[in-house]
């Protein structure tokens, strides 16, 4: 069900790729997606050349870091639909999704930056999650004037942490938004 990015076959190469991904995850959380490449390679204990070999474009790295998260969210939909009534399933899934965004500082801005450096990212994001959310929305019987992709973006934005307010903030705002989805147009 999940991604199957081609990985290097040599053991040391694979090790480096993993180290880079781990480092990138950490650095993205700390300093955002615009962090200097050096910061990542230093943390990974690897030369910059190695980064560029495995991820020629900056977007490739971001994509790789992000995709696993997106996949996990996508995969969560099935179980939720089986275990809960549609309205509740929708609710839970959206919060699950929001949680991903909240912890990946910078993902949202990468998604919306329009920066060609991140080309491909929004496509993967939308392609993977829109169909799933679309079905959840229909099943839950909410208003039909709002399309799934719009909701995806809205939640992406609402779940961004605001400095000075706790993590609760995003959660509650998303809740209000879901209430709005249940209202009649």
| 114 near DNA (CB under 7 A) | no
Gap between the Cα atoms of 65 and 47, Å rounded: 19
End-to-end CA distance of the chain: 36
| 130 near a copy of itself (CB under 8 A) | no
| 22 near DNA (CB under 7 A) | no
Q: Secondary structure of the chain: what % helix, strand, coil (to 5)?
A: 75, 0, 25
| 178 near a copy of itself (CB under 8 A) | yes
Q: Is the CB of 19 or the CB of 169 nearer to a copy of itself? A: 169
Alpha-carbon dihedral 58, 26, 130, 76, rounded to 10 degrees: 140
| 162 near a copy of itself (CB under 8 A) | yes
Q: Is the CB of 45 or the CB of 166 nearer to a copy of itself? A: 166
Min dist. Cβ of residue 68 to DNA (A): 19
Cβ-contact 3, 71 below 8 angstroms: yes
| 53 near DNA (CB under 7 A) | yes
Cβ-contact 14, 8 below 8 angstroms: yes
Site string for DNA, 116-135 (x = CB under 7 A): -x------------------
């Amino acid at each position: 069900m999940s991604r199957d990015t081609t990985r290097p076959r040599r053991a040391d190469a694979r090790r480096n790729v993993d180290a880079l991904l781990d480092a990138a995850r950490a650095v993205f959380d700390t300093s955002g997606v615009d962090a200097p490449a050096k910061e990542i390679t230093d943390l990974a204990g690897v030369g910059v050349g190695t980064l560029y070999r495995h991820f020629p474009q900056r977007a490739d790295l971001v994509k790789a870091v992000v995709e696993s998260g997106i996949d996990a969210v996508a995969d969560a939909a099935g179980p939720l639909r089986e275990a809960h009534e549609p309205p509740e399933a929708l609710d839970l899934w959206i919060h699950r999704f929001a949680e991903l965004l909240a912890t990946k500082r910078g993902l949202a801005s990468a998604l919306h930056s329009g920066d060609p450096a991140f080309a491909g990212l929004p496509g993967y994001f939308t392609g993977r999650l829109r169909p799933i959310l679309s079905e959840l929305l229909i099943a839950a019987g909410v208003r039909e004037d709002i399309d799934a992709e719009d909701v995806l973006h809205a939640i992406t934005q609402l779940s961004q942490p605001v400095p000075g307010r706790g993590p609760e903030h995003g959660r509650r705002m998303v809740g209000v938004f879901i209430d709005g989805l249940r209202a009649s147009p």
